[in-house]
Structure 1
Amino acid sequence: MDSNTAHSPVFLIFPPEITAPEYQSIDLTATTFESQNFLQKLVTKKMKILGAIQIVFGIMTFSFGIVFLFTLVKPYPRFPFILVSGYPFWGSVLFIMSGAFLIALKRKTTESLIRASRVMNFVSAMGSVAGIILLVFGLLLDRDYICGYSREGTRCDEITVLFIGILIMLMIFTTLEFFISLIFSIWGCHLEDCECVTC
């Protein structure tokens, strides 16, 4: 065996057209949905990030509720209204659940999970509206009685600033949560957007 025959290249020549029907190419067509606007496409792509933001808002709301428990100073005549309503605790559960549904929906999209996510985000949006009303009412009700009826305490000003700051932060988190939940409860994730795996 000489070296010329061992390394000779092999050329394959294919005919320009294959006439056998099993080898003919199939034309694929794609339909575009022009009804979706830019914001809806962006929100659908960032579902996992917005779900994580909802979970973080839920954890922060719960943490501020725990802080409320430790800011009570004697002679405080009653618990703050926002603690009596329980909003930092049930609101945080709603936020965490709606965020978890969004993350699950992004990972595996099914028809039932789409419906459950939309319902959970709607409930979370309604909980956010109730939370905003409760926070405004609590701020108006408790702002003069944060340290009780006696203002002789040396830490009264610090407690007042902390209390009002927490209420403002809760208001910001609740408002942002309202907008995120409202977007997903109205637009949601359609089967063509989320690439339904098992419908």
Structure 2
Amino acid sequence: MPVKKILGVVQILIGLINLTLGITMMSVSLPSDGPKPTSVYTGYTIWGSVVFIVSGALLIAEEITDAYLISKLISLVMAIIGIIITALSLRDFSFEYLVCEDTLTSEKCAMLMGMDGVVLTLSVLESCINVFICFTWPRWE
């Protein structure tokens, strides 16, 4: 199996995992009155996941054109924006953790911070894949 198809499948899986984590984070934090992670407010896990899934599908389709490269660059920019959003979300939410313990259960706070950490890790992985693809795509033709 070619490397580009494997990377496409990995991108789709990253998108699906981020989407699942985002839906879970929103369903846990939105009904409560306590502080919420910044990533829940921005909805990055939803729109970022859609971009990653489309980007992975284009990679599997083997359409290496200039339009494809532009879609990869958009995916890379989205991954970088996601890294910034989730890093800021983790930073801000860790300062609000004491307030969070008063309004939510501490398990919910820890779960939200953990999910944000996983989303951050997957966004870093997605950006690494996109950098690899963007700098090596002419060799694939």
TM-score by length of 2: 0.87
Equivalent residue of 2:101, what SS?
Answer: coil
**Percentage of pairs with the same residue:** 26
Mapped partners of 2:97, 2:45: distance in 1? 18
How far apart are 1:183 and its partner, in Å? Answer: 1.1
Matched, 1:122 2:80: no
How far apart are 1:58 and its partner, in Å? Answer: 0.5
The aligned residue for residue 137 of structure 1 is 88
Give yes or no for contact 2:90–2:116 (8 Å, CA) kept in 1. yes
Gaps of at least 5 residues in structure 2 are none
Q: 1:150–1:102: structure 2 CA closer, same or farther, 3 Å change rule?
A: closer
Which structure has the highest helix share of the two? 2
Mapped partners of 2:127, 2:13: distance in 1? 14
Equivalent residue of 1:71, what SS?
Answer: helix
Q: 1:83 aligns with which of 37, 40, 44?
A: 40
How far apart are 1:150 and its partner, in Å? Answer: 6.1
Equivalent residue of 2:91, what SS?
Answer: helix
Mapped partners of 1:179, 1:152: distance in 2? 38
Gaps of at least 5 residues in structure 1 are 1-43, 195-199
The aligned residue for residue 110 of structure 2 is 161
Mapped partners of 1:58, 1:97: distance in 2? 9
Give yes or no for contact 2:101–2:109 (8 Å, CA) kept in 1. no
Q: Deviations over 1:51-108 (max 9, x none)?
A: 000000001111111001121263315x431111121011101111110111001xxx
Matched, 1:187 2:139: no
Quote the RMSD (CA, aligned, Å): 2.2
Mapped partners of 1:171, 1:69: distance in 2? 16
More RCO (CA 8 Å, sep 6+): 2
Matched, 1:70 2:27: yes
Give yes or no for contact 1:94–1:124 (8 Å, CA) kept in 2. yes
- Higher Rg of the two aligned structures: 1
Corresponding pairs, count: 140
Q: 1:152–1:129: structure 2 CA closer, same or farther, 3 Å change rule?
A: closer
Equivalent residue of 2:137, what SS?
Answer: coil
Mapped partners of 1:69, 1:146: distance in 2? 17
Matched, 1:47 2:31: no
How far apart are 1:186 and its partner, in Å? Answer: 1.8
Residue type of the alignment partner of 1:167 = D
